[in-house]
């Protein structure tokens, strides 16, 4: 699965094209884990940064998703009945209770931020900047 040496495109783009072909041809199916970065480096003969750039391209296109510490997986191209395009592994999903806790924490942080911004705004109104001129 080596990359063509006479192609003028950047290596990360060639690697992304090669992986995209694996996905669109069906050799890699939705939910399949992509080879590790090390395996891709060795198989394609490219640097680690090049592998990461190629994976970023595919993530940006929605063809794959990554789970920290676990790897990259092929996304489901068809929207599921619930509307999610890619379902992460079960251990990476957030439960309803966790979601409520996170939502509450986010709401609290937003309220605090609003108070800080209001305070900054009032200080700016009380002490307008002097302009030199």
- pTM exceeds 0.85: no
Span 53-100, pLDDT tens digits: 999 999 999 999 988 889 999 998 655 445 444 556 666 666 667 777
Span 13-45, pLDDT tens digits: 999 999 999 999 999 999 999 999 999 999 999
Confidence tier at 104 by pLDDT (50, 70, 90): confident
Residues paired with residue 73 on neighbouring β-strands, in sequence order? 33, 65
Distances (CA, A) of 10 to 7, 23, 35, 47: 8, 20, 21, 12
- In the 3-class helix/strand/coil scheme, how is 71-110 assigned residue by residue? EEEECCCCCCCCCCCCCCCHHHCCCHHHHHHHHHHHHHHH
- pLDDT for position 94: 61
CB 41 within 8 A of CB 55: no
Q: What are phi and psi of 64, to 5 degrees?
A: -135, 165
Confidence tier at 6 by pLDDT (50, 70, 90): confident
Confidence tier at 117 by pLDDT (50, 70, 90): confident
- DSSP, res 7: -
Contacts 24+ apart (CB under 8 A), 2-9: 2/43, 2/44, 2/45, 3/44, 3/45, 3/46
């Amino acid at each position: 699965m080596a990359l063509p040496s006479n192609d003028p495109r950047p290596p990360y783009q060639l690697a992304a094209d090669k992986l995209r072909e694996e996905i669109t041809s069906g050799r890699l199916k939705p939910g399949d884990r992509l080879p590790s970065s090390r395996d891709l480096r060795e198989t394609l003969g490219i640097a680690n940064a090049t592998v990461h750039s190629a994976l970023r391209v595919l993530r940006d296109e929605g063809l794959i998703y990554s789970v920290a510490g676990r790897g990259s997986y092929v996304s489901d191209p068809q929207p599921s009945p619930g509307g999610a395009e890619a379902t992460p592994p079960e251990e990476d999903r957030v439960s309803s209770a966790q979601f409520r806790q996170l939502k509450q924490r986010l709401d609290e942080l937003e309220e605090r931020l609003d108070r800080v911004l209001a305070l900054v705004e009032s200080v700016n109104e009380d002490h307008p900047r002097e302009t030199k001129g």
